[in-house]
């Protein structure tokens, strides 16, 4: 089916908040281009029957804009979306992990994760996903209980399961993401406990992963802390360098926080439960 591709050019200080507002207003996916530049390109994908003007206006109002920003819109088909995704998606090697699509040749001797680009966020191509994959590759040695909060495509949860985690639960507020993660888990022959956040049962986890955005991460700090076992570890991404201190401060009451990795203007935050 066709989709609407909306392109905006925004001041970098406003881009993240506008991204969140677009997603809340009904955008299927949002990506930022050159997030550390003074001006940021923001691409949003909408259902073809969406009222793009109303959606952009709603996001602008949510962010306190006096008027909706200018934007370009185009209709793209499934084939165009897939072709664009394929051209941007190269295989990735991180330690023991190899992540690639169905049309890539896997490297020998690796733990292989197969993921084709789709509507749910997370193919390994974005720096924030790569940062958390680096953490997963180091942290999962076998037998861990893992929670992926905001799982998107399920890439982080699948990688943890393939590296030997004993129990992997994954959740997302977007039912499209839950369905995509289920399909990807089946393709990779791993078992994930997939459900909406409100359906997540009780339990503590040795490792908690969350690759979202800074403001939702700040709001979620008490919830994610309550899900982390004593001496358990947490990894947070979707955070720009300039936001790392604020997010770390939100988790400091429960975790000893560090910022061990940065990539292309994004930061990975790690914590150990006190």
| pLDDT tens, residue by residue, 71-104 | 999 887 655 555 554 555 678 899 999 988 777 7
Domain assignment of residue 225, yes or no: yes
* Residues 65 and 135 placed together within one structural domain of the fold: no
Looking at residues 241-262, what average pLDDT do you find? 96
* Residues 130 and 65 placed together within one structural domain of the fold: no
Number of C-beta neighbours around residue 197 at 10 A = 12
* Residues 180 and 251 placed together within one structural domain of the fold: yes
Domain assignment of residue 112, yes or no: no
Domain assignment of residue 34, yes or no: yes
Number of domains in the chain: 2
**pTM of structure:** 0.74
* Residues 76 and 136 placed together within one structural domain of the fold: no
Number of C-beta neighbours around residue 64 at 10 A = 9
Number of C-beta neighbours around residue 166 at 10 A = 12
Contact 27/52 with Cβ under 8 angstroms?
no
Q: Read off the CATH number of the domain in which 156 is found.
A: 3.40.50.150
Contact 99/154 with Cβ under 8 angstroms?
no
Residue 195 has pLDDT above 90, yes or no: yes
**Which of 222, 156, 220, 233 is CA-nearest to residue 190?**
156
Domain assignment of residue 106, yes or no: no
3-state secondary structure at position 250:
helix
Contact 265/244 with Cβ under 8 angstroms?
no
Number of C-beta neighbours around residue 56 at 10 A = 25
Structural domain including 152 reads 121-273
Domain assignment of residue 149, yes or no: yes
* Residues 126 and 244 placed together within one structural domain of the fold: yes
């Amino acid at each position: 089916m066709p989709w609407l591709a909306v392109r905006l050019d925004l001041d970098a200080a406003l881009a993240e908040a506008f991204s969140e507002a677009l997603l809340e207003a009904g955008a299927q996916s949002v990506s930022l281009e050159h997030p550390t530049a003074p001006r940021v390109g923001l691409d949003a994908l909408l259902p073809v029957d969406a009222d793009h003007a109303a959606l952009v206006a709603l996001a602008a109002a949510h962010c306190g804009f006096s008027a909706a920003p200018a934007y370009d819109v185009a209709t793209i088909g499934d084939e165009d979306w897939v072709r664009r995704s394929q051209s941007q998606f190269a295989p990735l090697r991180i330690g023991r992990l190899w992540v690639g699509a169905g049309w890539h040749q896997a490297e020998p001797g690796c733990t292989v994760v197969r993921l084709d680009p789709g509507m749910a966020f997370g193919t390994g191509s974005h720096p924030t996903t790569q940062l958390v994959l680096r953490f997963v590759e180091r942290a999962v040695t076998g037998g861990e209980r893992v929670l992926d909060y905001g799982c998107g495509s399920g890439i982080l949860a699948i990688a943890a399961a393939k590296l030997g985690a004993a129990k992997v639960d994954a959740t997302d507020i977007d039912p499209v993401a839950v369905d995509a993660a289920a399909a990807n888990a089946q393709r990779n022959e791993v078992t994930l406990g997939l459900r909406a956040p409100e359906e997540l049962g009780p339990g503590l986890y040795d490792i908690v992963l969350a690759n979202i955005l800074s403001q939702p991460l700040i709001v979620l700090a008490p919830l994610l802390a309550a899900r982390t076992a004593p001496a358990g570890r947490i990894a947070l991404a979707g955070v720009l360098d300039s936001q790392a201190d604020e997010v770390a401060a939100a988790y400091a009451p429960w975790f000893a926080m560090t910022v061990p990795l940065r990539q292309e203007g994004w930061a990975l935050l790690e914590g150990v439960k006190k």
